[in-house]
Amino acid sequence: MSNDGSLVSTVSGNVAVLKSQNYVNDKAADELASECTKLSTDGVQHFIVNMQDSKMVNSIGIAIVIEMIEDAIEGGGSLSFCCVSATIAKTFQIMGLRQLSSIYETEDEAVNSVG
């Protein structure tokens, strides 16, 4: 379960789509968080994490992702998800993440929701 590959998929105005890695552990989540921080200094406020390639997460990684969501909200923006597997969505639900963030079926839906 390798975690290689670029994180940023597209940036359009103040919206960025990032691709999360195969296993969202603390290391992968930290990398996502760093990327979001970098993008926010470039004016990005809304982040969409496409989880199409993510097969597994762990609670430490999700804890970091929750902090990312809170940072995005604090910056006047949002962080949402798309293409999330049923089990990862259930894990998000259990950890209360869905109270802070939305999950969309497709990337297009997620992007359109920000506009």
Partner 1 sequence: MADKPNVDLTIPMMPDMELTAITVAESLGVFIGLDTEKIDEVKMALIEACINAFEHSKSSERRINLNFQISDRGMVISISDGGQGFDLQEALERIEEKRNKGEKRGWGLTLMSELMDEVEVDSSEEGTLVKMTKYR
The Cα–Cα gap between 4 and 27 comes to 12
For residues 87 and 103, give the distance between their C-alpha atoms in angstroms, rounded to a whole number. Answer: 13
- Positions in 55-84 near partner 1 (CB under 8 A): 55-60, 62-63, 66-67
Length of the chain: 115
CB of 81 to partner 1, least distance (A): 16
> Which stretch, 10-18, 19-27, 32-40, 44-52, contacts partner 1 (CB under 8 A)?
19-27
> Closest CB to partner 1 among 15 and 24?
24
Helical axes 86-94 vs 59-74, angle rounded to 10°: 70
Q: Are 21 and 5 in contact (CB under 8 A)?
A: yes
Report if residue 33 touches partner 1, rule: CB under 8 A. no
Instruction: Give residues in contact with partner 1 (CB under 8 A).
Output: 1, 23, 25, 27, 55-60, 62-63, 66-67, 85-88, 90-91, 94-95
